[in-house]
Structure 1
Amino acid sequence: MSTAAPQAAAFSVPTIGTVRCVQALESELGEGLMWSVREQALYWVDILARHLHRWDPASNGYRRWTFAEEISALAERAHAPGLIVTLRRGFALFDPAADEQPRYVHQPEMERAGNRFNDGKCDAQGRFWAGSMDFACEAPTGALYRYDPDGRCTRHDDGFAVTNGPTWSGTGQGLTMYFNDTVQGCTYRYDTDPATGTLTNKMLWMRWLPEDGVPDGMTTDAQGRLWIAHWGGSCVTCHDPVTGAELGRVALPVSQVTNCAFGGADLRTLFITSARGGLTPAQLAAEPLAGALFAVSVDSAGLPAHLFGG
Structure 2
Amino acid sequence: MTRSETTGGWRPCTSDRHQLAEGARWHDGSLWYVDLLRGGLYRWSGSFDGPAETVLSLGMPLGAVAPTAGPGGGWVVAAGDGIALCAPGGPPEWLARPARRADRAMRMNDGVCDPTGRFWAGSMETGAAPGAGALYRTDTDGSVHQVLDGLTVPNGPVFSADGRMMYLADSAHGTITRHVVDPATGELTGSEPFACLAAHEGRPDGMALDDRGDLWVALWGGGEVRRYGPDGSLRRSLPMPTPHPSSVAFGGGRMFVTTARHRLERPGPLAGAVLTRPTGVTARPSPPFGITDRQGDITALTPADKP
TM range (shorter): 0.7 to 0.9
Moved more, 60-69 or 247-256: 60-69
1:93 maps to 85
Q: Does 1:279 align with 2:269?
A: no
Maintained 8 Å contact 1:237/1:246 = yes
Q: Deviations over 1:232-266 (max 9, x none)?
A: 0111111102x2111112211110110111122xx
Q: Does 1:53 align with 2:42?
A: yes
1:232 maps to 221
Matches within 5 A, 1:1-310: 18-37=9-28, 40-57=29-46, 62-64=52-54, 65-81=56-72, 82-96=74-88, 99-111=89-101, 113-169=104-160, 171=162, 175-241=164-230, 243-264=231-252, 268-280=253-265, 283-284=266-267, 287-309=268-290, 310=301
Q: TM-score, normalised by structure 2?
A: 0.86
Q: What is the CA-CA distance between 1:59 and the residue it aligns to?
A: 8.6
Q: What is the CA-CA distance between 1:24 and the residue it aligns to?
A: 3.6
Quote the Cα distance in structure 1 between the aligned partners of 2:15 and 2:171.
26
Quote the Cα distance in structure 1 between the aligned partners of 2:152 and 2:273.
25
Question: Residue 304 of structure 1: SS of its match in structure 2?
Answer: coil
Quote the Cα distance in structure 2 between the aligned partners of 1:249 and 1:292.
20
Quote the Cα distance in structure 2 between the aligned partners of 1:203 and 1:148.
24
Maintained 8 Å contact 2:115/2:161 = no
Change (3 A) 1:117 1:25: same
Q: What is the CA-CA distance between 1:58 and the residue it aligns to?
A: 5.2
Change (3 A) 1:252 1:269: same
Maintained 8 Å contact 1:24/1:291 = no
Count of aligned pairs: 280
Change (3 A) 1:253 1:58: closer
Quote the Cα distance in structure 2 between the aligned partners of 1:50 and 1:76.
16
Q: What is the CA-CA distance between 1:138 and the residue it aligns to?
A: 2.7
Quote the Cα distance in structure 2 between the aligned partners of 1:294 and 1:50.
20
Q: What is the CA-CA distance between 1:296 and the residue it aligns to?
A: 2.1
In the TM superposition, structure 1's runs of 4+ consecutive aligned residues that sit over 6 Å from their partners are none
Q: Deviations over 1:18-41 (max 9, x none)?
A: 22221242211111212222xx22
Q: What is the CA-CA distance between 1:107 and the residue it aligns to?
A: 1.1
Q: What is the CA-CA distance between 1:192 and the residue it aligns to?
A: 1.1
Structure 1 segments unaligned to the other structure (5+ residues): 1-16
Quote the Cα distance in structure 2 between the aligned partners of 1:80 and 1:132.
29
Maintained 8 Å contact 1:24/1:289 = no
The AA in structure 1 aligned to 2:200 is E
Change (3 A) 1:58 1:49: closer
Question: Residue 63 of structure 2: SS of its match in structure 1?
Answer: strand
The AA in structure 2 aligned to 1:277 is H
Q: What is the CA-CA distance between 1:52 and the residue it aligns to?
A: 1.5
Quote the Cα distance in structure 2 between the aligned partners of 1:207 and 1:35.
27
Moved more, 109-118 or 196-205: 109-118
Moved more, 59-68 or 99-108: 59-68
Q: What is the CA-CA distance between 1:170 and the residue it aligns to?
A: 5.7
Moved more, 117-126 or 20-29: 20-29
Question: Residue 186 of structure 2: SS of its match in structure 1?
Answer: coil
Cα RMSD after superposing both structures: 1.8
Higher normalized contact order (CA 8 Å, seq sep 6+, divided by chain length): 1
Q: What is the CA-CA distance between 1:219 and the residue it aligns to?
A: 0.8
Question: Residue 151 of structure 1: SS of its match in structure 2?
Answer: coil
Q: TM-score, normalised by structure 1?
A: 0.85
Question: Residue 211 of structure 1: SS of its match in structure 2?
Answer: helix
The AA in structure 1 aligned to 2:142 is G
The AA in structure 2 aligned to 1:273 is T
Maintained 8 Å contact 2:153/2:172 = yes
Quote the Cα distance in structure 1 between the aligned partners of 2:189 and 2:244.
32
